[in-house]
Amino acid sequence: MHYINDMMENIDKKIEFLSYIKSPLSESSIAVLLSANNIKYERSQLFSDFVQSLLSKIFDTYMGDDITSNVDRINHFKWCWHKNLEDFKLEGIHFSHTQEAYDYFLEFMYEVYYSIPDKDNKPQIPLTISALWFRLFSYKTVKTRSDIDNFIEVYGILDKSLKKGYKKAF
């Protein structure tokens, strides 16, 4: 009997997880979650611009797997990250270098881009990655609870790096 209870509990957890990642939320549910987490539309658009700019730098300046080592890839990301911070600063938007934001995006890019072999023959990879981030920050796409949780996490990470004096403008 204990085995059947465990099995049923496992099935319930799987159903709950699938619902978490697949079931769309209503607009009102999304609005409540965003409001409860103090998400600001203008700031989320700024963060979207920041991420898209970073991705463009990475994709446009990557020299290729055939001439880069793992160390080169990390150095490439580091250069793109700092260049992105610099470019935003020139526009009057000051992000500080926080280790949390840097590590989050380095790990993400290493996992979904730098570590993928034969990228040069897969032009859809940069497009897919950019689209994923655009969708995450978009207010016009259907969202699941998983999408909203990811959005809130990234928003919080980037919000910590936006210098305090500049938050009032956004």
This prediction has a pTM of 0.84
CB count in 10 Å sphere of residue 131: 12
153-151-144 Cα angle (round to 5): 125
Q: Is the predicted pLDDT of residue 22 greater than 80, yes or no? A: no
Q: Quick check: helix, strand or coil at residue 24?
A: strand
Q: Is the predicted pLDDT of residue 14 greater than 70, yes or no? A: no
What is the percent of the chain with per-residue pLDDT over 90, rounded to a whole number?
71
Q: What is the DSSP letter of 139?
A: S
**How confident is the prediction for the chain on average, in pLDDT?**
89
CA dihedral of 12, 141, 133, 107, whole degrees rounded to 10: -10
Residue extents of the structural domains in the chain: 25-167
- The model's confidence at residue 69, banded by pLDDT at 50, 70 and 90, is very high
* CA 102 to mean position of chain CA atoms: 12
pLDDT tens, residue by residue, 27-40:
999 899 999 999 99
Per-residue confidence (pLDDT) for residue 108, from 0 to 100 = 98
Q: Is the predicted pLDDT of residue 21 greater than 90, yes or no? A: no
Q: Quick check: helix, strand or coil at residue 152?
A: helix
Q: Is the predicted pLDDT of residue 12 greater than 60, yes or no? A: no
Q: Please name the residues in contact with 84: beta carbons below 8 A apart, sequence gap of 6 or more.
A: 50, 53, 54, 57
